[in-house]
Amino acid sequence: MIVIRNKLNQRIIVNLVGVKNIDLLAKGTAEVSKEDLLSPHLQALISRGDIVVMPPVSHDRQEEQGEQEKLEESKEPEETEKPKEIGTPKEVVEQPERQPKKKGKK
């Protein structure tokens, strides 16, 4: 099977040979047969650049990609660097503690 990918930010309905069609979501992928790849509508979308044919991925590469994705998911998020302060640090002024307002009759 051949994998095609929608490059647009909107869905495309691709008319294939006969009465078949594929509903490709925005940036989505789908598998098509060699016969379906020859449909005139799909060929027009490919020539316009709306759809691209993805390069074939070997079975070994698929396993490596799956393992790599699992490793990336299991990694702890890296700490982000604190923004550097520009100029001199501001002086900290201590303020007296606020007393809670007393509820009473007026």
State the pTM of this model: 0.53
Q: Taking residues 33-57, report their average pLDDT.
A: 91
Residue 82 has pLDDT above 60, yes or no: no
CA distances from 74 to 56, 61, 71, 87 (A): 27, 20, 5, 39
The confidence score (pLDDT) of residue 30 equals: 93
CA–CA gap between residue 87 and residue 89 (Å, rounded): 7
Q: Taking residues 72-92, report their average pLDDT.
A: 57
Residue 78 has pLDDT above 70, yes or no: no
Does residue 48 lie within any of the structural domains? yes
Does residue 63 lie within any of the structural domains? no
Does residue 79 lie within any of the structural domains? no
As a whole number of Å, the CA-based R_g of the chain is: 29
Q: What is the tally of structural domains in the chain? A: 1
CA–CA gap between residue 78 and residue 29 (Å, rounded): 31
Does residue 13 lie within any of the structural domains? yes
Does residue 94 lie within any of the structural domains? no
**More confident call, 50 vs 73:** 50
Confidence of residue 102 (pLDDT cuts 50, 70, 90): confident
Residue 24 has pLDDT above 90, yes or no: yes
Neighbours of 40 (CB within 10 A): 10
Print the domain residue range for 8. Answer: 2-55
Written as one letter, the residue type at 74 is S
